[in-house]
Structure 1
């Protein structure tokens, strides 16, 4: 039986933000494997976080001239993870190489794939990535949550008046609108129509008018929120989710906004302040959800019509593909 880790191991996953790589090696977990990430003289290296000599964590070592030095015995590893020095005796270093994962830098993220992956690269890039009329910023968070719960959280509308009251929606200022679910081979999306600009601060600051919005699940681990006015996309949030370990998921978020009259640094700083607050609120509610599931020893979920995309998320993570869609789109009326 193919496990979720096996299935996700057949894809490229984000492990960190490229800007995080500096003078010190970085420790990350991907699919339950501790990895060390550093920038060598020839490119980014991602390897198992253990020295092949005595298994010391290489992430506690130092980077010198693009080579990673083990903190225990000083063994140094350079291009392609090959050992280039082993101090202590007058002899050539042992012929050993770190067990490296495939790595690439793309769209501001460091992407990794299992050493055995041979399929073509499939790294998701948003439609606004190269649009000069937009600016963006990144956020990252370590979530105490399973992968499906974390993805659902970003795409779920009904929690926003409660978890993000005043920032996204307000329970005291409800609107009625409809949602239609559509599926293609590459994604499933919910299209929301009839909702005007939300009453939260984020919408009031960054949305002049709303015509339509979308929530999308793009397998294996990407979720997108898009808000459009009649003129253009006013906000696009692209989130990549990577399972770190059992019950632990890392999220890597890029937020796109159209350029405005304010200087970019000021506008992005204001936006980051609000969106980081939203991410913190989501992190807190997901952690409390996970703790409560652990208290009872198992999940006990009730699904209803408002859970638009969760069945699709669960189906893909279980089977590696979407189920056949029922005849006609599914339409749901919301009041939020």
Structure 2
């Protein structure tokens, strides 16, 4: 498995990239994103080499980024093409290191690698149905591991999201199989009926199987299917470190197309999911701040038998290698 620098990471929604520059950050690298004259997404370090002004505060002129301080202009490959007040530009040598940049699945992707990347960005689960989709973005102060485990952990929903997803006093006995993926880990849940919370009652008619999966470097997904193996709900969340211990979240919510118009469904679901995200963000930030109160480097999480994916996610992120284990089966009350 490649290191973080040899991976593709999403840094913005494609819809954000129009006729203005967009500021972003990947790990500890501030970026400016913009579209070239041909409409291609481009990424440069967010600093003018002249006096270090943020290029994201400038503007896009004919597919190039113009510094707001002295008007120096840069093409997508980092070359300076105009210095106002001078008859010469900087020449053919780039003054900024252009980053590998592409678009896929409604996202703008960047890699910090200086080598040519042959693998495509990690994709959401492939679907053959016609789906209604929309996006939610957010930021949270926590680690990638904590956010991924939180998203894929069903056992906190009875308390953090009580009434919205599940109730502690209305549990069901279900089965789960956990198995490795080529680039991650997946749990498949069966024998669970419709959940007791508001979201399930509104948008599910029946429950067949459901899946929770994590794929390197940063994709966590929850997928619900009905008894005919048709999709009810697929939530794909890319968790991107963006400096200062923060994560940028890009959440794609997909539901099967039905009688309810997509615009109404999007309005209702976006309201509900923002409540869920806010509840999770508050808890994750409490965990992050509490960890700082106990800075013992030997302090590690205590895993229970209900922690189906957390230990595997931790190992994937620590080792950067595919997991090797036989499929495990569990039975518990969720």
Do structure 1's residue 122 and structure 2's residue 123 form an aligned pair? no
Do structure 1's residue 34 and structure 2's residue 30 form an aligned pair? yes
Shift of 1:323: 3.6
Kept in 2: contact 1:35–1:46 (CA 8 A)? yes
Q: Which residue of 2 aligns with 1:259?
A: 257
- Cα distance between partner residues in 2 of 1:65 and 1:312: 47
State how 1:37-76 maps to structure 2 within 5 Å. 37-42=33-38, 43-76=40-73
Q: Which residue of 1 aligns with 2:3?
A: 7
Give the secondary structure class of the aligned counterpart of 1:290. Answer: helix
Shift of 1:227: 0.7
Which segments of structure 1 move beyond 4 Å, counting only runs of 4 or more? none
Q: Greater shift after overlay, 61-70 or 227-236? A: 61-70
- Cα distance between partner residues in 1 of 2:42 and 2:182: 33
Give the secondary structure class of the aligned counterpart of 1:287. Answer: helix
Give the secondary structure class of the aligned counterpart of 2:291. Answer: helix
Give the secondary structure class of the aligned counterpart of 1:189. Answer: strand
- Cα distance between partner residues in 2 of 1:274 and 1:209: 20
- Cα distance between partner residues in 1 of 2:307 and 2:100: 36
Structure 2: which 5+ residue stretches go unaligned?
none
Give the secondary structure class of the aligned counterpart of 1:56. Answer: coil
Candidates 95, 106, 109, aligned match of 1:108: 106
Kept in 2: contact 1:147–1:249 (CA 8 A)? yes
Candidates 208, 219, 223, aligned match of 1:222: 219
Shift of 1:156: 0.7
- Cα distance between partner residues in 1 of 2:76 and 2:3: 29
Q: Which residue of 2 aligns with 1:322?
A: 322
- Cα distance between partner residues in 2 of 1:28 and 1:37: 7
Shift of 1:44: 1.3
Two-structure CA RMSD over aligned residues (Å): 1.8
Q: Which residue of 2 aligns with 1:175?
A: 172
Candidates 242, 245, 248, aligned match of 1:250: 248
- Cα distance between partner residues in 2 of 1:77 and 1:280: 39
Q: Which residue of 2 aligns with 1:94?
A: 90
TM-score (normalised: structure 1):
0.92
Shift of 1:79: 4.0
Q: Which residue of 2 aligns with 1:310?
A: 310
- Alignment size in residue pairs: 328
- Cα distance between partner residues in 2 of 1:22 and 1:283: 29
Kept in 2: contact 1:25–1:59 (CA 8 A)? yes
Q: Which residue of 1 aligns with 2:15?
A: 19
Structure 1: which 5+ residue stretches go unaligned?
none
TM-score (normalised: structure 2):
0.92
Q: Which residue of 1 aligns with 2:209?
A: 212
- Cα distance between partner residues in 2 of 1:76 and 1:323: 47
Q: Which residue of 1 aligns with 2:156?
A: 159
Q: Render the CA deviation track for 1:24-71: whole Å, top value 9, x for unaligned.
A: 321111021111111121321111111111211111112233221112
- Cα distance between partner residues in 1 of 2:239 and 2:27: 11
Q: Which residue of 1 aligns with 2:332?
A: 334
Q: Render the CA deviation track for 1:267-300: whole Å, top value 9, x for unaligned.
A: 1221121112212221121111111111222454
Q: Render the CA deviation track for 1:65-116: whole Å, top value 9, x for unaligned.
A: 3221112111011342321111123x21112432111111111100111241
Kept in 1: contact 2:223–2:234 (CA 8 A)? yes
